[in-house]
Amino acid sequence: MFSKQICWTSCVAHLSQIINLFFKLRGIEMSTDYYVTLTASDGTTTPVKLIDSINPLPFSDTFESDEAALGNKGGKAVFGTDAVVMHTGPGGAGNVTLDGFNAQTKKGDSGTGNKTNDLGTFPDGDFTWHCDRID
């Protein structure tokens, strides 16, 4: 009985690897990466990479940014609404919101957003965003 459980566990692990390889060979990625430029009203810019995971669990999406600009080199992002919220500060205090940004955003799309923390060199307040690339 014990050897059957080990065999079953091993088979499931291998099946998972085969499925991931199948999706990769078909060009189906486990996430979509959005490369975005934020531009403040004073002309300051900073790049951000938003990673929209296909994992359905909450807070599975993430971002990467210039720590000096946003006060955080990366963390949790929330897709699923008509805006993306990047949690940049301690707790719920610091947020960068990209209004109108969602999983249907395409290269060349743009919109507005808001930064609500005193972290980093990128100014607080309203800004514009532009989607430069999608991988």
Count of C-beta atoms within a 10 Å radius of residue 38: 21
Domain boundaries of the chain, sorted by first residue = 31-134
**What does the pLDDT read at residue 2?**
47
Encode pLDDT of 10-28 as tens digits: 554 455 456 545 656 666 6
For 78-105, write each residue's pLDDT tens digit: 877 788 888 887 766 678 999 999 889 9
Six-digit token string for 85: 């919220």
85: CB partners within 8 A, 6+ apart = 77, 78, 95, 96, 97
Residue 87: predicted pLDDT: 84
Tokens describing residue 8 = 């079953």
Distance of CA 134 to the CA centre of its chain: 12
Where are any strands of DSSP class E within 1-135? 31-40, 45-53, 62-65, 74-78, 83-87, 95-99, 110-115, 125-134
Res. 7: pLDDT tops 50: yes
For 6, 7, 39, 108, 130, the CA distances from 95, given in Å and listed in that order, are 46, 47, 16, 24, 18
* pLDDT tens digits along 21-79: 565 666 666 789 999 999 999 999 999 999 888 776 666 788 999 989 988 888 888 87
58 vs 50: CA distance, rounded Å: 15
Strand ranges for 88-124 from DSSP E:
95-99, 110-115
Average pLDDT, the chain: 81
Record the pTM. 0.76
- Given pLDDT bands bounded at 50, 70 and 90, which one contains residue 118? confident
